[in-house]
């Protein structure tokens, strides 16, 4: 079969022939793959920089951890598995979601990673309640755009978004963003704007996709002065601008702050089960009913070598058609 293969960790994937996989136990199924999205998660695992990657691996493997395809009976599903950027793949039958009519393959394989990166944090780490204010740090990318819509669906009264490009930030208003904050302004201006927002409409939840310096500024803007403070739940989801920050102990002691992370390894088995049985089916139906906007760019598997490092603008997701 044809597949996107890396022959050594850290190398670029190549379009190549690879043996068809076979099931090893009763929990596995073979799927005929139709589409698989290229995500930062996938790139990090290929390079060995993501914390879930097997460091030092030398054997050739097919890349891609999820995708959309057909089961033996013709049922179209989204599934987690191994080696999904190939004509055939093995998937875990406990981690499958039926794709509703009216939803295309590209949207169905692009959406789940972004839903996991927003809905899981909002529901299980932040325990969002209707009427709360949510700030999304790094909202102009694909996952940030989905997070805005998911937050509003879960009842957020106000969504504040940050980003580097003013035009891109303004475009998020159509998705439900209520206020924008430019990250390229001076640190002093950024903190001042955040303090003013927080004083006017206290921020209940922060979904952070950037970490790095902007996370330091966000935490500094929450710092108290010894008086009672509003509780803010800060959830780290990504680290696009840096994996480490400096965090003042005074900052932690001066504010009612819940600091946690949301990602592979932090979710419980019950939470993962709900992702597949409840959260993803709901979001898929919203997308099928045109109540959740998903933007993708489709490319061919045979072009994987030249498209792997392709920069995708306007918060769209790159999807490989197979």
Judge if 69 and 189 occupy the same domain.
no
Interhelix angle 212-222/187-200, rounded to 10 degrees, is: 50
pLDDT of residue 56: 54
Judge if 169 and 236 occupy the same domain.
yes
Phi, psi of 233, rounded to the nearest 5 degrees:
-100, 110
Coil, strand or helix at 56: coil
**Number of other CB atoms surrounding residue 290 within 10 Å:** 10
Judge if 294 and 217 occupy the same domain.
no
Judge if 47 and 168 occupy the same domain.
no
With 0-12 CB in 10 A as exposed, 13-18 as middle and 19+ as buried, what is 291?
A: exposed
Angstrom distance (rounded) from CA 109 to CA 67: 5
Q: Are 118 and 146 in contact (CB under 8 A)?
A: yes
Name every residue whose Cβ is closer than 8 Å to that of residue 298 and which is 6 or more positions away in sequence.
35, 106, 319, 320, 321
Judge if 143 and 254 occupy the same domain.
yes
Last residue of a domain, one of 244, 261, 278: 261
Judge if 226 and 309 occupy the same domain.
no
Nearest-5° Cα angle at 149, 145 to 153: 165
Q: Which domain holds residue 187?
A: 119-261
pLDDT of residue 309: 79
Judge if 124 and 69 occupy the same domain.
no
Taking alpha carbons only, the member of 61, 68, 58, 60 closest to residue 36 is 68
- pTM score, two decimals? 0.92
Judge if 141 and 249 occupy the same domain.
yes
Report how many domains make up the chain. 2
Last residue of a domain, one of 261, 293, 308: 261
Per-residue pLDDT of the chain (322 residues; tens, 9 = 90+): 999 999 887 788 999 999 999 999 999 999 999 999 998 777 766 665 556 556 555 678 899 999 999 999 999 999 998 899 999 999 999 999 999 999 999 999 999 999 999 999 999 999 999 999 999 999 999 999 999 999 999 999 999 999 999 999 999 999 999 999 999 999 999 999 999 999 999 999 999 999 999 999 999 999 999 999 999 999 999 999 999 999 999 999 999 999 999 998 999 999 999 999 999 999 999 999 999 999 999 999 999 988 887 878 778 999 999 9
Read off the CATH number of the domain in which 201 is found.
3.90.180.10
pLDDT of residue 45: 64
Judge if 152 and 237 occupy the same domain.
yes
Taking alpha carbons only, the member of 17, 39, 11 closest to residue 320 is 39
Last residue of a domain, one of 242, 261, 280: 261
pLDDT of residue 48: 58
Judge if 124 and 252 occupy the same domain.
yes
Judge if 92 and 180 occupy the same domain.
no
Judge if 154 and 249 occupy the same domain.
yes
Angstrom distance (rounded) from CA 282 to CA 293: 14
């Amino acid at each position: 079969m044809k597949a996107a293969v890396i022959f050594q960790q850290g190398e670029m994937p190549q379009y190549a022939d690879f043996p068809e996989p076979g099931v090893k136990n009763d929990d596995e199924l073979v799927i005929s793959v139709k589409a698989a999205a290229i995500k930062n998660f996938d790139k990090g695992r290929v390079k060995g920089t993501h914390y879930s990657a097997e460091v030092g691996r030398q054997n050739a493997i097919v890349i891609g951890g999820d995708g959309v395809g057909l089961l033996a009976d013709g049922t179209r599903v989204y599934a987690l598995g191994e080696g999904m950027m190939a004509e055939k793949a093995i998937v875990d039958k406990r981690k499958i979601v039926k794709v509703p009519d009216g939803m295309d393959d590209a949207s169905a394989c692009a959406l789940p990673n972004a839903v996991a990166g927003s809905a899981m944090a909002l529901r299980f780490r932040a325990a969002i309640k209707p009427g709360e204010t949510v700030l999304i740090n790094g909202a102009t990318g694909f996952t940030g755009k989905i997070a805005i819509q998911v937050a509003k669906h879960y009842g957020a009264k106000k969504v504040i978004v940050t980003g580097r490009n003013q035009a891109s930030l303004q475009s998020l208003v159509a998705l439900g963003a209520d206020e924008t904050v430019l990250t390229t302004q001076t640190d002093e201006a950024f903190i001042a704007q955040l303090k003013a927002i927080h004083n006017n409409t206290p921020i209940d939840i922060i979904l952070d996709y950037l970490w790095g310096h902007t996370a330091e500024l966000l935490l500094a803007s929450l710092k108290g002065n010894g008086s009672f403070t509003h509780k803010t739940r800060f959830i780290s989801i990504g680290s696009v601008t840096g994996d480490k920050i400096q965090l003042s102990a005074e900052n932690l002691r001066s504010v009612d702050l819940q600091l946690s992370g949301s990602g592979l390894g932090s979710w419980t088995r019950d939470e993962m089960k709900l992702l597949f049985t409840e959260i993803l089916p709901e979001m898929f139906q919203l997308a099928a009913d045109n109540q959740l906007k998903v933007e993708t760019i489709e490319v061919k598997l045979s072009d994987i070598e030249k498209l792997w490092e392709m920069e995708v603008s306007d918060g769209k997701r790159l999807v490989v058609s197979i």
